[in-house]
Amino acid sequence: MKIIPWQENRINDVVELWNKEIGADFPLRVELCKQNSFEDSNICLKSSCIALNGQDEIIGFVIAKRWQENINVNMDDTRGWIQALLVAKPYRQQGIGSTLLEHAESQLKDIGVKQILLGKDTYHYFPGIPKQYEDVAEWFETKGYENFGTEYDLIRHYDLEDGMSVPKMAEVEFTTLSINDKEEFLTFLNRCFPGRWEYEAIHYFQKGGTGREFVVLKKGRRIIGFCRINDAKSPLIAQNVYWAPLVDEELGGVGPLGVDAKERGQGYGLAIVEAGIAFLRQRGIERIVIDWTGLVDFYKRLGYDIWKGYLSYKKEL
């Protein structure tokens, strides 16, 4: 086996290996691989690498990240992530996965990482180990990783006129975000949801987002809640539509979303999800995914069922 650096000229091989191994559950598109595993500035090039066999064919890879961006959001640079680790089936049980993981971990440690998460990275694929890969979870446990919960992707199909109407409530309105309200919206996120959701919104605008992917809840003229909505026209491939090739209809996505802590408990949370769904439905979306959530009962009220589950894992170095 030979280890070579993580490099984009191998992208087609990476995607081919991924799809051969786990493509039936998580079909990877080249554009998505490029976006999440090559263009993200948090990729740690020293920790990520590719394994080749004697014929120069790719037989495995590991992709690791650490927060490196120069944006003032609340992200922790002592946390590292393993975005993905994969070894081709015929080459398993030969120590290749262990070698790749040890390589990634030791390089992350060298640059000051104190805790590693599996998935949950910036431009992640997974918020944990997919639940159906129990053997993978067991393998990581032998490497010192600890489970700390389960996250879910939920899904629902809509018929005909279902889910089309935006809720009406006294004193508040639901609209898609006007680009003129961008600064006010970012200020709202910074105040109420600092960190990852704010970071993702900043990236969305940097990539040319115009506001159509955010529904905002306004009381008077103040933004008090938000809900992200995504479809194939979004300026980047958003997390809730990553696995769109698995379904026949065009897939839409809802989330993240939140309501100002001072305004919770008045029905706004559920209503903003309904508003997000209605805007997607009016754009012709028939199937919607709500990704990376633990709030299964909350979304069940709107008819959502579990689609995929993920086990959260971390390791303190």
Ligand X SMILES: CC(C)(COP(=O)(O)OP(=O)(O)OC[C@H]1O[C@@H](n2cnc3c(N)ncnc32)[C@H](O)[C@@H]1OP(=O)(O)O)[C@@H](O)C(=O)NCCC(=O)NCCS
Residues of the shown chain interacting with ligand X in the complex, contacts defined by CB under 6 A: 255-259, 264-270, 293, 295, 297-298
In the bound complex, what is the minimum distance in angstroms from residue 172's beta carbon to ligand X? 11
In the bound complex, what is the minimum distance in angstroms from residue 273's beta carbon to ligand X? 8
Q: Which is nearer to ligand X, 80 or 252 (CB)?
A: 252
Nearest residue to ligand X, using CB? 269
Q: Which is nearer to ligand X, 18 or 242 (CB)?
A: 242
In this structure, what token pair is assigned to residue 133?
């890969």
H-helix segments, 23-59? 30-37
Q: Which is nearer to ligand X, 166 or 257 (CB)?
A: 257
| Of 101, 84, 100, nearest in space to 144 by CA | 101
DSSP states of 204-242: HHHTT--STTEEEEEETTEEEEEEEEE-TTSSS--GGGT
Question: Cα–Cα distances in Å, from 128 out to 74, 118, 156, 314?
Answer: 21, 6, 22, 9
In the bound complex, what is the minimum distance in angstroms from residue 193's beta carbon to ligand X? 7
Asked if 196 contacts 75 with a C-beta cutoff of 8 angstroms, the reply is yes
In the bound complex, what is the minimum distance in angstroms from residue 299's beta carbon to ligand X? 8
In the bound complex, what is the minimum distance in angstroms from residue 251's beta carbon to ligand X? 18
- Distance of alpha carbon 139 from alpha carbon 130, whole angstroms: 13
- Distance of alpha carbon 216 from alpha carbon 16, whole angstroms: 40
Q: Which is nearer to ligand X, 248 or 297 (CB)?
A: 297
Q: Which is nearer to ligand X, 145 or 310 (CB)?
A: 310
- Distance of alpha carbon 28 from alpha carbon 243, whole angstroms: 8
Q: Which is nearer to ligand X, 171 or 297 (CB)?
A: 297
The alpha carbon of 97 is separated from its chain's Cα centroid by a whole number of angstroms, namely 24
In the bound complex, what is the minimum distance in angstroms from residue 281's beta carbon to ligand X? 19
